Amino acid sequence: MSCFVCRPEVFKSVTKVCFQYGLRQLNRTEYPLLQTELDAFTVKVAELNAKNVSIRYKEDAQAEVELFGEEIPLGEITAQDIKHCDCWMYQTCDYLDEEPLFKMVKEATEWAKAVTHYSKEEYSEAECG
């Protein structure tokens, strides 16, 4: 099994799913709830993925991050977003699946899978990252 640092769009999809989950759940203040928190959350998501790669390969892995800036990710959650979340979790779980951030992403992804309608074909055609 190999492990890699995900692409910037994966981190943005993870943040999008967590942001929307946080907006819909009461008492979920650990999720980014404000537009001003999105960029910092995205950086944390990227850093955790890179940390997992660094531990696995005993090297200093770095992640490239694209920030949201003024964008607010309120668009529909897609099969691509969910595939990105699954990919991020797979690429980050070797050593860090007990980290609170990992657990948050897992919880938000499970919610997204339950409320998003997409076909198996759409999911299989979506790119991992």
Residue 56 domain-assigned (yes or no) = yes
> Residue range 73-91: average pLDDT?
97
pLDDT tens string 10-57:
999 999 999 999 888 866 678 887 888 999 999 999 999 999 999 999
- Residue 117: give the domain boundaries: 9-125
| Contact partners, residue 76, CB within 8 Å, separation at least 6 | 116
Sequence-ordered alpha helix ranges (H) in the chain:
8-24, 38-57, 79-96, 100-115, 120-125
Residue 3 domain-assigned (yes or no) = no
User: What is the tally of structural domains in the chain?
Assistant: 1
* pTM of the full structure: 0.94
Residue 2 domain-assigned (yes or no) = no
> Residue range 123-129: average pLDDT?
94
Residue 60 domain-assigned (yes or no) = yes
Residue 25 domain-assigned (yes or no) = yes
Residue 84 domain-assigned (yes or no) = yes
Residue 18 domain-assigned (yes or no) = yes
